[in-house]
Copies of this chain bind each other. A is one copy, B any other.
Amino acid sequence: MVKAMTALDDVRTDPPATVGVGQAALRDQNLAVVATLAFAADEPVSRAAIAAASGLTRSTVSRLVDELLAGGVLRELPRQVAGRGRPATPLAPARGTLVGLGLEVSPSYLGARLVDLSGDVVAERVLPAHLERSDAPEVLGRLGRLAAHVLAESADDWTALAGVRLAVPGLVDSAGRVLRAPNLGWREVSPTDHLDAAALAVAGGHSGPPPAVGVGNEADFAALAHALDAPGRPAGSANFFYVSADIGIGGACVVDGVPARGRHGWAGEIGHTLVDPAGPQCTCGARGCLEQYAGRDALLAAAGLDLETTAEALARAARTPGRAQEAVAQAGRALGVAISNVVNLIDVDDVVLGGQFVPLVPALRPALEEELRRRVLAAPWLDVTLRPGEGGLPALTGAAFAALGDVVAGPSAWLQVA
């Protein structure tokens, strides 16, 4: 439940307190409460519904909603006459105003996706590439130009860039530094040194301060896209483990709708679970990691297929007996070992297989489920659900949602901008 902040932040039983909270802070917090409620709703909501849910008066809510409408955070839909009483004006997240930019460096592509507050994709570009052992400044320079292009070509369709998030397949520290991205060959890279936020800000031709650029783990962003239907709007699943597969394999444990990132933000790294100590050498330096069985290149090599083969084509090849079918079954067993560990350690029963695994889920399932039955200690009492994730590069969407999440959580900062 979202609660409105009030002047009484330290309430007492006996004499009424007179603890002061500035009027400006109070307004900012209440704007956030109203925005959060309006964004979280499955369907457009009325001012009255927001008042009821927040505990704020209807006059306060109306005043705050007016600010959010004027600022391009919310929009009004046509009035509806529902049952008796005065017709209510439904409110919904604004369209084509503030946008979030999701960026991604993957071993096999560069991507930029611009999303508005309603969750609609305003523009996007994805550039196939081979970035396995790439030069970070050069790659980030290219990504910056791609992003500027996306912003410029869609400039008429939005009003202000709220924020930018970059997804990378690796460990990112709290300062936004990529400590290690084995499948890019990157080590201790600060992407913001090479991505020009000021250039991004002017690329769309709009005025305003340079947007905040954040950097995060690709699997965390992909998991966030699975947890949300749109910025600030929870999807059906709030507790699941997300496996993100490309050449490398990442993961994220989502608890109550939020990726549980751990003490330093490095949680969820399922890709280096030991599958066999006698297994092949991994890019991380160890032997027999999950990636060496279920990562894209490992899978395609075991299947005897060209490394450019799509996951869909591999899934088709795996329908008939042969090397492809054996390779996918082996990947399923390896994934089963790793996911059994996750279930035993974290006690989660909903597993989402994303990225390249999406079309492969039916082919992976038999061996994977057999391993779960064998290795999950609670298997007889626990029904672990395996589901495919969304296609379409979800980390880009999650990164844009994360940038827009700042607007929902603190809209007042954007009311001056828009």
Task: Indicate if A331 sits at the interface (CB-CB under 8 A).
Answer: no
Asked if A275 and B272 make an inter-chain contact with CB atoms under 8 angstroms apart, the answer reads no
Asked if A26 and B13 make an inter-chain contact with CB atoms under 8 angstroms apart, the answer reads yes
- Min C-beta distance of A24 to chain B, whole Å: 13
Contacts of A285 in B (CB 8 A): 374
Task: Indicate if A267 sits at the interface (CB-CB under 8 A).
Answer: yes
Digitize A254-280: 1 where CB-to-B-CB distance is under 8 Å, 0 elsewhere: 000000011111111110111111100
> Complex Cα distance A239/B341, Å?
20
> Complex Cα distance A182/B253, Å?
27
Residue of B3, B11, B266, B378 touching A6 (CB-CB under 8 A): B11
Asked if B10 and A8 make an inter-chain contact with CB atoms under 8 angstroms apart, the answer reads no
Digitize A173-201: 1 where CB-to-B-CB distance is under 8 Å, 0 elsewhere: 10000011010000000000000000000
Asked if A264 and B12 make an inter-chain contact with CB atoms under 8 angstroms apart, the answer reads no
Task: Indicate if A412 sits at the interface (CB-CB under 8 A).
Answer: no
Task: Indicate if A347 sits at the interface (CB-CB under 8 A).
Answer: yes
Residue of B15, B239, B275, B345 touching A274 (CB-CB under 8 A): B275
Looking across the interface, which residue of chain B has its beta carbon closest to that of A9? B11
Q: Which of A55-63, A70-78, A356-364 interfaces with chain B?
A: A55-63
Looking across the interface, which residue of chain B has its beta carbon closest to that of A273? B341
Residue of A171, A180, A344, A349 with highest tally of chain B CB at under 10 A: A344
Asked if A269 and B345 make an inter-chain contact with CB atoms under 8 angstroms apart, the answer reads yes
- Min C-beta distance of A8 to chain B, whole Å: 5
> Complex Cα distance A284/B182, Å?
35
> Complex Cα distance A375/B374, Å?
24
Known A346-B267, A375-B274; contact A55-B341, beta-carbon cutoff 8 A: no
Asked if B11 and A264 make an inter-chain contact with CB atoms under 8 angstroms apart, the answer reads no
Looking across the interface, which residue of chain B has its beta carbon closest to that of A350? B263
Looking across the interface, which residue of chain B has its beta carbon closest to that of A260? B346
> Complex Cα distance A170/B34, Å?
46
> Complex Cα distance A349/B267, Å?
11
Task: Indicate if A377 sits at the interface (CB-CB under 8 A).
Answer: yes
Looking across the interface, which residue of chain B has its beta carbon closest to that of A13? B6
Asked if B345 and A381 make an inter-chain contact with CB atoms under 8 angstroms apart, the answer reads no
- Min C-beta distance of A282 to chain B, whole Å: 10
Asked if A12 and B269 make an inter-chain contact with CB atoms under 8 angstroms apart, the answer reads no
> Complex Cα distance A268/B378, Å?
12
> Complex Cα distance A60/B13, Å?
9
> Complex Cα distance A287/B264, Å?
33
Digitize A202-236: 1 where CB-to-B-CB distance is under 8 Å, 0 elsewhere: 00000000000000000000000000000000000
- Min C-beta distance of A398 to chain B, whole Å: 19
Task: Indicate if A30 sits at the interface (CB-CB under 8 A).
Answer: yes
Task: Indicate if A342 sits at the interface (CB-CB under 8 A).
Answer: yes
> Complex Cα distance A263/B260, Å?
14
Looking across the interface, which residue of chain B has its beta carbon closest to that of A4? B13
Residue of A179, A285, A347 with highest tally of chain B CB at under 10 A: A347
Residue of A180, A251, A261, A375 with highest tally of chain B CB at under 10 A: A375
Shortest 8 CB-CB distances between A and B: which pairs? A262-B347, A267-B347, A269-B344, A14-B57, A266-B347, A6-B11, A286-B375, A266-B378
- 28 residue pairs bridging A and B, Cβ less than 8 Å apart: A6-B11, A8-B8, A10-B55, A13-B60, A15-B57, A17-B55, A180-B378, A182-B377, A251-B345, A263-B347, A263-B349, A264-B347, A264-B349, A264-B378, A264-B381, A264-B382, A266-B347, A268-B345, A272-B344, A272-B375, A272-B377, A273-B341, A273-B344, A274-B341, A286-B375, A341-B341, A345-B346, A346-B346
